[in-house]
Structure 1
């Protein structure tokens, strides 16, 4: 039991340092503490780290206010071409690697909703009819 508490304290220190460097939402902090304390416990027990290839992190990476890069774990509003290039990927290669559908935009949900609303307000399809 004492080792579990020690692992949790070490994980909290790491997350606290990370939170000082970048903005983190509550669910990110909780998830990071859990993963780190489990990882520390596994390292202490001598277990080999296992690859997490489940589709759950992919679905959870696109959140309301952020999208999490599955390569490095950083949060953004948009996964830009420049950022993906830092991982030697383009948008299509990133989607293919992580099993994301081709038509899924690499932006957070709020920004996607905002863009959709602006396009509907512009009514480009009506302008095209009147021009023809």
Structure 2
């Protein structure tokens, strides 16, 4: 089990006494200030842990990271919690109470920006091209346009 704050403060002040001569008044003041500092640190740590464990999404835990730098070659860093992934899944974003669209809007990404590592995005793009998706998409769009024009022509005759 870990040491109590009093024990930690005593150890720190004892080390300080070993390096410099201190009278009882200085030792007392040093103990009090060290104990208070440790208490503040512990309270801050507890707040941080409570915020992340409740799924509150502590903003800024990816310290000072610019959104455009969060999407890297082999990973994407969640700007809400600071965790690294290959892809920000809808399930992970839900843990922060966000959808993909809300995440993109909040952090200033274009709505068509893939929320995955650049390498993964490139692999998917290449696989789609290999399967002929761009050509099939062009054909489907052309077919839709033709059927839309045919419907308009039919409505004009009435």
TM score, norm. by length of structure 1: 0.53
TM score, norm. by length of structure 2: 0.45
Q: Which runs of 5+ in 2 are unaligned?
A: 1-40, 42-58, 144-158
Q: Distance in 2 between matches of 1:73 and 1:105?
A: 18
Say whether 1:71 aligns with 2:80.
Answer: yes
1:81 is aligned to 90
Say whether 1:108 aligns with 2:117.
Answer: yes
By how many angstroms is 1:57 displaced?
Answer: 1.1
By how many angstroms is 1:103 displaced?
Answer: 0.8
By how many angstroms is 1:124 displaced?
Answer: 2.9
| 1:127–1:94 Cα change, 3 Å | closer
Larger Rg: 2
By how many angstroms is 1:92 displaced?
Answer: 0.4
More relative contact order, 1 or 2 (CA 8 Å, 6+ apart): 1
Instruction: Number of aligned residue pairs: give it.
Output: 79
